[in-house]
C-alpha cells in the first residue's frame, strides 16, 4: 500500500473488526486483571479532574 490514506483506512478497518474480540480475550487471558487496573486507574484519576492524561497503549 503506497497511498498513506489507503493504509490508514485499512488499519482502521482491521482494528474495528477485532476490537470487541480483543477486549473479550484480554479480559479472559489476564484473568480480569485488566478490569482491576482500569478500576484502580479511574479511581486514582478522580483526584486530578483538571489534569491531562496520557494513554500509553495499555489496552
Residue 57 in domain: no
All 3 cell numbers of residue 46? 478522580
Residue 58's pLDDT is 64
pLDDT at 42: 86
The confidence score (pLDDT) of residue 59 equals 57
Q: What domain range is 24 assigned to?
A: 4-45
Structure confidence at residue 38 (pLDDT): 87
Left if phi > 0, otherwise alpha if psi is -120 to 50, otherwise beta: which for 32?
Answer: left
Q: Is residue 51 part of a domain?
A: no
Number of domains observed in the structure of the chain: 1
Q: Please, what are the averages of pLDDT over each run of 10 residues along the chain (59 residues)? A: 88 90 91 92 82 73
pTM: 0.53
* Structural domain includes residue 37: yes
Amino acid at each position: 500500500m503506497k497511498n498513506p490514506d489507503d493504509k490508514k483506512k485499512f488499519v482502521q478497518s482491521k482494528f474495528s473488526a477485532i476490537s470487541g474480540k480483543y477486549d473479550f480475550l484480554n479480559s479472559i487471558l489476564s484473568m480480569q486483571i485488566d478490569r482491576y487496573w482500569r478500576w484502580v486507574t479511574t479511581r486514582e484519576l478522580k483526584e486530578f479532574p483538571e489534569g491531562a492524561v496520557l494513554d500509553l497503549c495499555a489496552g
